[in-house]
Structure 1
Amino acid sequence: MTDAHTLATRYIHSWNETDPLRRLALLEEVYTEHASYTDPMITAKGWQAINATVSAVQKMFPGHVFGLIGEVDAHHDMMRFRWHLGQPGANEPVVIGFDVAVLEDGRISRVCGFLDKVPVVA
């Protein structure tokens, strides 16, 4: 199995990449071709749909950066990890989440995301 921490780091890096073509290249390295991403707000299947999802999140949170929280836990062909999204240098992240990923041949074939902290809309 691929080193889970390295794969999770590359996954987070793909969410931070703002250039759509470079991001698509990263997504193709990290995900299988027909991978799916699901969280409480969206379901996306395939590299193009996941790329569009990342772009939409970046537009909702301009200037924010994703980062890993703690260790990546993995067994068999699965891994789980926590992440946060916030402004660089901010005291508190705006969003905190938890993802579980199913792996296939060293890449992600499915992500199930959970949101632990989300901004309150006024």
Structure 2
Amino acid sequence: MNAHTVLIDRYFDIWNETDAQRRKALIAATWASDATYVDPLLSGRAHDGIDAMIRAVHERFPRHTFRRTTDVDGFADRLRFSWELKTPDGVPIAKGSDFGQLDAEGRLLAVTGFLDAAPGAA
């Protein structure tokens, strides 16, 4: 498995982690301290902002899980991959594609998410 895939799989571990202390440790190991995340519904800046954003998703969608649905495609400091959010029963309710930028140490510096399908979307 290449370094980009390992990084993005850890990114999904963060989204799925419900223990606050473990999630914060994963964020610190995976994201640059000045990192940003933005999609049409959410945004977070720096470790605390990213943690708060993920915590809000857990509150809105308890026991739902994210998973990567494509290989991680990357070159230089850029990445792209797709994902889905599943209910506790395994039904996908949202899908999207994310684009990432890495810092010099190989941590996530910025992620921009696009929703391909979302609850309530026509």
Q: Same fold judged by TM-score > 0.5?
A: yes
Separation in structure 2 between the aligned mates of residue 28 and residue 15 of structure 1, nearest angstrom: 13
Extract unaligned runs of 5+ from structure 2.
none
Q: How many residues are treated as equivalent by the alignment?
A: 119
Identity level (%)? 37
Structure 1 runs of 4+ with >3 Å offset: none
Separation in structure 2 between the aligned mates of residue 69 and residue 88 of structure 1, nearest angstrom: 17
Name the structure 1 match of 2:28: 28
Q: Deviations over 1:43-97 (max 9, x none)?
A: 211000000000001111111111000211000101000011102452x411101
SS class of match (2:92): coil
Separation in structure 1 between the aligned mates of residue 6 and residue 44 of structure 2, nearest angstrom: 23
Within 5 A, what are the aligned runs for 1:70-89?
70-89=70-89
Q: Deviations over 1:12-56 (max 9, x none)?
A: 000000011110100001100010000001221100000000000
Separation in structure 1 between the aligned mates of residue 42 and residue 64 of structure 2, nearest angstrom: 19
Name the structure 2 match of 1:45: 45
> Which structure is higher in strand share?
1
Within 5 A, what are the aligned runs for 1:1-122?
3-90=3-90, 92-104=91-103, 105-120=105-120
Instruction: Give the TM-score, by structure 1 length.
Output: 0.92
Amino acid paired to 1:27: I
